[in-house]
Copies of this chain bind each other. A is one copy, B any other.
Amino acid sequence: MQTIGLLQMDATVGDLQGNSVRLSNLAQRAHENGAAVGVSTELAICGYPPRDLLLERDFLQLCMDHALALPSPLPLLVGTPIPPADPRSLPSNGVVRCGPDMLDWMDETGRIVAEKQLLPTYDVFDEARYFEPTNRSGLARSFGGMTLGVTVCEDAWQSAGMTPSAYEQDPIQNIAEWVRQGVEIQATVNLSASPYHSEKFSTRLQVARHAAAVLNHPFLLANQVGGNDDLLFDGRSMVVWPDGTAIVAPSWCEGVLMVDLAKPEECRWLPAGQSDSLNIGEGHLVRLGPEDDQLPKEHMIEEITHAVVTGLSDYCRKSNIQSIVLGLSGGIDSAVAACVAVEALGPELVTGLAMPSRHSSQHSIEDARHTAQALGMNFHLHEIDGMHEATEITLDTVLSDGHPVAGENLQARLRALLVMGYANAQSSMAITTGNKSEIAQGYCTLYGDMAGGYAPLGDVYKMEVYAMGEWFNQRAQAQGKTPPVSQSTMTKPPSAELAPDQFDEDTLPPYAVLDDILRSHIEEGLNAEDLVKVGHSKDLVLDVLNRLERNEHKRWQMPPAPRVTSRAFGQGWRRPLASKHNWRTK
């Protein structure tokens, strides 16, 4: 039996030339290691999600041209948009053949192997807006001596009943029907761009197992990896046999999963090995028996940490951002944000600023310095008292006669001014350090600590930020290094330090309680009544939801936002909870 290489690629949306080079490199790597054929991820030529680029006729044709011209030493299935014949119609989300082993009759149209049938149009997906569906399943015949069923992402999900939409087609059943009618199909492949969220993997595994069982032959899923726009992709390409045995490629890494259909023990992982390849985490293959429904030793906080680092790292590489600057307050959020930034870019490209005011405690400065020194990043200290006093003199009666939060916000905004001063002077990107819990409650200052091009912790709840701090500390200890988050930072009560003796819990419930309410509401859709039923006090629930939905806390001081158009952050009348520069991890 032949070996199939699944090309787990970190595509960049719109970078047709760069993606072509990456695809060719991976195909070459697979070929040199004995693969007979290769399979790319969904829309690999243009990256996923291409969104409004798909409205450009020129772009569609360029994608198709790049896909058809792709240099490949082995027969290769490549995901690409297929331009429509009629200019008022939409393109399809398709798969074409490249490389050798082409048959005589395969002109441009003949090389189209499959087009996506099920177009997800919910949550983060909007494919009915951009694509026309087809109603025939794909088949690659005489393909490296094999015949493969070919499906694209969602095509495989209806069969397992795992989609919110009820589709009329079931592409997996269609292929199973061909098998029953005697077509000899060695395996079915699925070109995917299946985004990450925590606990997504077990769902995806269920889908793949269901498909393999229905098809009664191996099911192979090649998944995109890396970050594009507001979506993160974890990779974890896999092959599943009808008995449920599965082999899973690593997450957050680019490379090739080499699949020997007949010999699971011969399956291998080939890292991409280019200097700019995504390569986060340990990079091991995982082998699951038919009964294993979890990845072994799965550590949720490690996974979220890798996700967050991948997001920031890919964002900087793809946006050509060379260095990062952030404020270091001595608190847990900025300490962990610094760990993430250093992990993503290396310590020499990250600068931390301690900017104490008259309300800052001495330990704040020491804790900030400790983190910077332990990480080996750049560190500067600027007292803001001079600026603070000059501003208070300028605003004088405006402050004394107005809402007290106006005065508190000045400090946060003066710090943003300094961070942005560094960013502009050095052509760096400022990052903001806020977590999902405080952003959800509006416990932050607009144009103050909210200022920055990227919010690495914007989709991470406060208690998870502490756990990430523990994770970075434990890893440092295991490596014989100084733990970057000081004990004082881990244990002192959270404080904005914008007024004397001010603590977060004066305004917010304890974070363990707050996180539980927010997570139940945002991630699981519980409403106020449900939250009271599971044991939270009614007043507390209403306080939290009120702050969440109206952001009445004056620190934010922004009008109610326009409606959210994606359910990514929950349902209904709600402000997006993460900066638009933040990747989704929930």
Residues of chain A whose beta carbon lies under 8 Å from any beta carbon of chain B: 13-14, 49-53, 55-56, 59, 86, 88-89, 121-122, 126, 128-129, 164-166, 229-230, 315, 319-321, 382-384, 386-387, 389-391, 393-395, 398-399, 401-403, 405-406, 409-410, 413-414, 416-418, 420-427, 429, 446-447, 451, 453-454, 554, 557-567, 571-573, 580-581
How far, in angstroms, from A573 to B52 measured CA to CA in the complex? 8
How far, in angstroms, from A122 to B165 measured CA to CA in the complex? 21
Closest to A454 in B: B559
How far, in angstroms, from A481 to B86 measured CA to CA in the complex? 58
**Contact indicator A421/B447 (Cβ below 8 Å):** no
How far, in angstroms, from A53 to B565 measured CA to CA in the complex? 9
For the complex formed, measure the closest distance between the CB of A496 and the CB atoms of chain B, giving whole angstroms. 15
A565 contact from B126, B393, B410, B451, Cβ within 8 A = B126
A394 contact from B51, B129, B384, B559, Cβ within 8 A = B384
**Contact indicator B398/A417 (Cβ below 8 Å):** no
Please indicate the chain B residues that have their CB under 8 angstroms from the CB of A564 in the complex. 51-52
How far, in angstroms, from A165 to B383 measured CA to CA in the complex? 60
How far, in angstroms, from A451 to B413 measured CA to CA in the complex? 12
A-B pairs with beta carbons under 8 Å apart, 28 shown = A13-B563, A14-B563, A52-B564, A52-B566, A52-B567, A86-B166, A121-B128, A126-B129, A229-B563, A321-B559, A382-B394, A391-B418, A395-B421, A395-B422, A398-B421, A401-B425, A402-B422, A402-B424, A402-B426, A405-B424, A406-B424, A413-B417, A413-B420, A417-B417, A420-B447, A424-B554, A429-B558, A561-B580
**Contact indicator B52/A563 (Cβ below 8 Å):** yes
Please indicate the chain B residues that have their CB under 8 angstroms from the CB of A49 in the complex. 563
**Contact indicator A315/B559 (Cβ below 8 Å):** yes
How far, in angstroms, from A82 to B394 measured CA to CA in the complex? 57
**Contact indicator B166/A557 (Cβ below 8 Å):** no
Closest to A429 in B: B559
A403/B387 contact (C-beta < 8 A), A129-B121, A413-B417 known: no
Please indicate the chain B residues that have their CB under 8 angstroms from the CB of A402 in the complex. 422, 424-426
For the complex formed, measure the closest distance between the CB of A243 and the CB atoms of chain B, giving whole angstroms. 31
How far, in angstroms, from A554 to B393 measured CA to CA in the complex? 31
**Contact indicator A417/B418 (Cβ below 8 Å):** no
A128 contact from B129, B164, B447, B451, Cβ within 8 A = B129
**Contact indicator A406/B421 (Cβ below 8 Å):** yes
How far, in angstroms, from A403 to B423 measured CA to CA in the complex? 10
Please indicate the chain B residues that have their CB under 8 angstroms from the CB of A384 in the complex. 394
How far, in angstroms, from A343 to B564 measured CA to CA in the complex? 29
**Contact indicator A399/B417 (Cβ below 8 Å):** no
Closest to A554 in B: B424
How far, in angstroms, from A59 to B525 measured CA to CA in the complex? 14
A382 contact from B382, B395, B406, B426, Cβ within 8 A = B395
**Contact indicator B572/A56 (Cβ below 8 Å):** yes
**Contact indicator A573/B53 (Cβ below 8 Å):** yes
* Additional 19 contacts, C-beta under 8 A, given A128-B129, A387-B387: A52-B564, A52-B565, A56-B572, A86-B166, A88-B165, A121-B128, A126-B565, A383-B394, A384-B394, A387-B391, A387-B394, A399-B425, A401-B425, A409-B420, A409-B424, A413-B417, A417-B417, A424-B557, A453-B559
The 3 closest A-B pairs by CB, nearest first: A402-B425, A406-B424, A406-B425
A446/B425 contact (C-beta < 8 A), A319-B560, A382-B394 known: no
For the complex formed, measure the closest distance between the CB of A407 and the CB atoms of chain B, giving whole angstroms. 8
Please indicate the chain B residues that have their CB under 8 angstroms from the CB of A319 in the complex. 559-560
How far, in angstroms, from A413 to B418 measured CA to CA in the complex? 10
A562 contact from B53, B122, B387, B580, Cβ within 8 A = B580
Please indicate the chain B residues that have their CB under 8 angstroms from the CB of A13 in the complex. 563
For the complex formed, measure the closest distance between the CB of A87 and the CB atoms of chain B, giving whole angstroms. 9
For the complex formed, measure the closest distance between the CB of A218 and the CB atoms of chain B, giving whole angstroms. 30
**Contact indicator A390/B386 (Cβ below 8 Å):** yes
**Contact indicator B164/A88 (Cβ below 8 Å):** yes
How far, in angstroms, from A573 to B560 measured CA to CA in the complex? 28
How far, in angstroms, from A320 to B560 measured CA to CA in the complex? 9
Please indicate the chain B residues that have their CB under 8 angstroms from the CB of A453 in the complex. 558-559
Closest to A422 in B: B398
Please indicate the chain B residues that have their CB under 8 angstroms from the CB of A395 in the complex. 382, 418, 421-422, 425
**Contact indicator A571/B52 (Cβ below 8 Å):** yes
Please indicate the chain B residues that have their CB under 8 angstroms from the CB of A401 in the complex. 425
Please indicate the chain B residues that have their CB under 8 angstroms from the CB of A382 in the complex. 394-395
For the complex formed, measure the closest distance between the CB of A157 and the CB atoms of chain B, giving whole angstroms. 13
Closest to A399 in B: B425
How far, in angstroms, from A561 to B563 measured CA to CA in the complex? 20
How far, in angstroms, from A419 to B423 measured CA to CA in the complex? 23
Please indicate the chain B residues that have their CB under 8 angstroms from the CB of A230 in the complex. 562
How far, in angstroms, from A90 to B558 measured CA to CA in the complex? 33
Please indicate the chain B residues that have their CB under 8 angstroms from the CB of A429 in the complex. 558-559
